[in-house]
Structure 1
Amino acid sequence: MNIVHILKKYPVVILLLLLTACEEDGDKIYLSGLEASEFILTETDILLSKENASKIVLSAAWKNNTLVVSNPDMGAPDVFTAYLQISTQEDFSSNVIETEGTGESKAYTGAELNAIARNLGLVPDVATPVYFRLRGSIGANMESAYSGVKTVYISPYLIDMTVGFILDKDKQQTGLTLASPDADGIYTGFVGATSWYNFFMEEGDGKIWGNLAADGSAFLASSEEGSWNFWYPEPGGCYYTEVNTVRKRWSAIYLPALEVSGDITGEMTFDRPNTRWYYVFNAASAGTATIRFSGQGDEYNYETGDGAPAAGKVTIAFAQENGQLVLTGAAGTISVQVPAAGECTLILDLSDPKNWTCEVTSGSEEPEPVAPEVYVIGIDDGITGGGWNFDNKLYLYNEDNLAYAGVLNVHSLWGYQIGTEKDNWGDVYTQAGGDAYSGTLEFKGQNNLAAPAPGVYLFDVSLKNLTYALTAVGDHVYVNGLDDKWEFNQTLAATSVPGVYSGSITVSGASSYGFKIYLVQNNWNMLFGGSDGKLTYGGADIPDSNSWSAGTYTITVDLVNRTYTIQ
């Protein structure tokens, strides 16, 4: 019998050797190089948690050997398939999960391993021995051979399929959730969303859902690799959201207004960042008040698409059942306790999809309004030749992160500050760390933000995260979407006016979605959309092209003043 050469890929790995044979035309043909041996696992004890769900927690490695046949007139098969087997039984007599290995290694994230532990019936938060081995095969009609058995003690975490976690466009946790009380794959709840807010949803077993990655598939859900993010339509506000992983669809009902009637009467105001409605009123006396909530919502789904206005109208109403608030087709009576006479606030809190609440508190509970703009003080000393002013602004584009952005022409002599109120020189943000192009902020600090080299820059500032970032805007900006092309090959050139770009572009006709202005080549995040001649950072597609006929058009954008023209 020939001896196969053992090829070493991993210095510490004893390569997998298995033994099997096949029978053809009555002759025994022996294959060497398939004798049982060991393979490598990187861990022996693993404590799983939500914190390490996206991290690699366990890796396996092996070597696919070259096979040799006993008959020199026959060629050996070059197809070797490795299967990883996992079981709670050391002899693998039952409760076995098997997956095909790809290449010569396999890595498990915490979420993947936790899902396997759940399917094996492991008890959460208890270290349980789990057995791993490799099964080798060269064909369906061949006997398999097995490696030695490895043991890993795994402590899984509870997989709660009654909660769906809202992730941002970068698949990071937002703290928002949807609920599936029956753990049936249908998740619902209210979300306070900004216009065109992008998100994914993660189930308790780690599966992440987004939109099907295909044009014309808005509101179709997919958990496949490469799925797009979900997106809410315009306008932003209160959306009753359903993600149905069974039907692989989702929907959103926009609730523009909510009326309260009964002992308290009026139109409530939506506090979007906190996902709650409130109404300030004057109570004649303390005691029990009986009220009703109802409103007309606009439904967006696969049939209607994401275009405004929505085609479907839906009644959103609440009732009280066994002390809990529930959605109903018609408003039911709800009892609340008014604590005292005088100014009070009625609050309908929808932030927890498993426990909506309604209460009345004394005094005014109106949230602090979010400033629509902030001021960049001191960036134009070299331009104006003198004092600081409040003429340069950044505009709110993400209320949740208190994020402001804008394009400015910078020539600063002594650095600059970011002010929150016009002509208020005291309430300013300064530099805590970093350099002229990115870093951290502090409120009323000692050091001005460092000045970059003179030029045109996109400023992106988060007063919630206390961060800032500057990106130089070059000699060209990019027009994407005309003729339904998104290729960064149509440009507008810088003019003699800083921040103004212009160029002629020939189109064959109207485009499906309109177009956007991108500031950096191949960067899909730094963009301006807009409508009616106004640009908005991160905004929706500019729709003007929908009515165009074939021809050549001159497009001019003023990024500093946030305007555009088309001729």
Structure 2
Amino acid sequence: MKKHINKLFVLGSLLFLASSCETEGQLTTLATVTFPSSIEVSSSTIVLKEDTSEQSALLVSWPKVTYPIAAPVSYAIQFDLPTDITGSEAWAKSKRVDVGEDVLSKSFTGFELNKIATDLGLKPNVAGELVIRVESSMDHRIYSDPVTIKVTPYLKTVVIGEIYMPGSYQGWAVETAAALTEIQLGIYQGYMTLPEGAGPGFKLNKGRNWAQFYGAGDTNADLKNMSDTDFSLPGAGSYQIKVNLNTLKWSSTPYAWGIVGTSQAGGWDNSTPMSYDHQTKTWKITTNLTPGALKFRLNNSWTINYGPADPSTNTINLDNGGAYDIPEAGLYEVTFKINETDPTSTGYPKTATCTIVKK
């Protein structure tokens, strides 16, 4: 009798497990999941222009995809040519843009869309077709029906110009003011640090002289030729400055490289920000360090960080997990130098350089 009971128990357990596995399968990959409706684009015919490249050129939106389990859904957008979306290599050459979890739209500037179009082989100043689809993923991926748009890319102009930023932060000396480099036609970018106690005012000069300059117009963000009103920064700190002479607008974004690690006060959680020397284009800090690790990261975040692949050198590598070892406590001067290109178009460089010197 006992043997029969044991057999019944084992059989019941197997049936229960089979039922559980079947249920789990139905809740995930065995369930049918589809896009409930088509994706939408803000325009089906787009002619891109370099002088409006910072403006939004395309908005892609899509419906929420519902999976059988309650969890975040990740979305991405794929762009491809009509000739590459069929056959065994379908979508293999596509340009894929991650959007994020539970996000149902994505806007692309003219610059971003132009790069996608030209990377896929569309010719400048000639209308060509791009196919767009949205990818949804949780435990498995599904795709929307594709949408086709016509895009006319532009040929990016090679630019090497500069404008200059004299202000209270450096005594209004235009000869030594921070330079903003032209990264696109009529669009300039640069970096500066406003020290504690310095005034927030500045101007924007076409040359290292006062023959032509811009001051604030109707608002602080507007450029007005030869205006006596100063532009104003929000307060002390380091900034990335962008100026668009096509639209006569400017903006400032908090931006600072910092040291991070167990050798500095914030440990691995909080960076100590460095200051930008605009004349040498070097980030610097003089501070007390204790024995421990040290590396570099941007804006107190791990999104962009550098560590040494070889700690015996002054070369540091993008996204490298290594760190320098600070052997003894004391006052140190630490510098960080990077090729400050436009990260939107070129990304951050694979290497930067640094120095760590005990005073």
TM over 0.5: no
TM class by smaller structure: 0.3 to 0.5
* Higher helix fraction (1 or 2): 2
Higher radius of gyration, 1 or 2: 1
Tell me the TM-score normalized by structure 1: 0.28
* Higher strand fraction (1 or 2): 1
